[in-house]
């Protein structure tokens, strides 16, 4: 976001993987930022949300706070809804009172996950999990409360240096196990938090300038893949044999919450506002890799 003028951006969930990335990016660019982790702002507390926004008076709020434990949401639906559904509703109401813009992060889990083509922003949602249902509730709260200033940004398969994620796990397991079994029947898009943070900053600036209409946007690194293929690419970038990654099925690794079989996201809206979709996931992973390795105490090895 441009520092001239310096509209204040308030980031919730600022201690999480994406929140840290976004806060760091905005500060490097000279933006005025208020970064609030859960200890500083519990978005499930409506009064606390209203007080925080009234005190800091941001022009843009980016809601990175979320319940992300997909399986735990199945057994704790009320807690998941409080964060993913009620929290965005509180933020949207407070933003409306201040005439502020709200960017709310959402997920591919709002879709059924059974499509034969990438999901567009306006495709019908049909979540099959409690997690997806709560995220959709948050989407609806933002869009209905802020029809002219509410932005829902769906993303998927996040990885970065600021928190636990699949790529970091694969980097660790490559050093600990001879082989690793990874599902090969779930299709999605790995997304680097640095690329997503950059896009959120651009969208916030465009929103303030009136150059991007409110509504739903999809923001993932492009081209679809499977967890199995992502693990193989991770091993390759480590200089390890990708064949040490063995394919398996979702049924064999059953979890409490069903994972989408196909949740690749199409991104036509970016071109409508003069931006290109994010780059290919392989290019993003290659650039991110030295930082990811450093975060888990390993050195990146040039792939063979």
List the catalytic residues: 131
Distance, CA of 139 to CA of 197 (rounded, Å) = 19
Q: At what angle do helices 227-237 and 281-295 cross, to 10 degrees?
A: 60
CA separation (Å) from 122 to 111, 135, 217?
Answer: 11, 16, 9
- For 164, counting Cβ atoms within 10 Å of its Cβ (0-12 exposed, 13-18 middle, 19+ buried), the class is exposed
Say if CB 218 and CB 269 are below 8 A apart.
Answer: yes
- For 54, counting Cβ atoms within 10 Å of its Cβ (0-12 exposed, 13-18 middle, 19+ buried), the class is exposed
Say if CB 188 and CB 108 are below 8 A apart.
Answer: yes
Residue 253's SS3 state is coil
CA separation (Å) from 65 to 34, 78, 94, 103, 198?
Answer: 14, 16, 16, 11, 18
Distance, CA of 242 to CA of 234 (rounded, Å) = 8
Which pair of tokens denotes residue 288?
Answer: 């991110």
Q: At what angle do helices 193-208 and 281-295 cross, to 10 degrees?
A: 120
Q: What is the largest CA-CA distance in the chain?
A: 57
């Amino acid at each position: 976001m441009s520092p001239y003028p310096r509209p204040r951006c308030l980031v919730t969930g600022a201690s999480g993987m994406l929140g840290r990335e976004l806060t760091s990016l905005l500060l490097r660019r000279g933006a005025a930022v208020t970064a609030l982790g859960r200890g500083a702002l519990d978005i499930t507390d409506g009064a606390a949300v209203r007080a925080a926004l009234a005190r800091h008076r941001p022009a843009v709020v980016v809601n990175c706070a979320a319940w992300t434990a997909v399986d735990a949401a199945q057994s704790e639906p009320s807690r998941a809804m409080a964060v993913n559904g009620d929290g965005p509703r509180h933020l949207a109401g407070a933003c409306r009172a201040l005439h502020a813009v709200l960017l709310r992060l959402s997920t591919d889990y709002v879709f059924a996950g059974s499509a034969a083509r990438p999901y567009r922003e306006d495709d019908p949602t049909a979540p099959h999990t409690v997690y997806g249902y709560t995220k959709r509730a948050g989407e609806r709260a933002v869009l209905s409360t802020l029809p002219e200033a509410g932005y829902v940004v769906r993303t998927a398969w996040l990885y970065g240096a600021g928190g636990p994620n699949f790529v970091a796990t694969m980097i660790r397991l490559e050093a600990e196990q001879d082989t690793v079994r990874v599902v090969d029947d779930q299709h999605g898009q790995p997304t680097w938090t640095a690329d997503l943070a950059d896009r959120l900053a651009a969208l916030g600036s465009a929103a303030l300038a009136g150059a991007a209409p409110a509504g739903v946007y999809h923001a993932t690194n492009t081209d679809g893949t499977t967890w199995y293929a992502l693990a193989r690419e991770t091993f390759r970038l480590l200089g390890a044999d990708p064949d040490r990654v063995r394919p398996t099925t979702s049924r064999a690794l059953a979890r409490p919450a069903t994972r989408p079989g196909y949740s690749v996201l199409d991104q036509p809206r970016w071109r409508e506002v003069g931006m290109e979709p994010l780059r290919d996931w392989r290019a993003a992973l290659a650039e991110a890799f030295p930082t990811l390795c450093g975060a888990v105490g390993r050195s990146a090895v040039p792939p063979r």
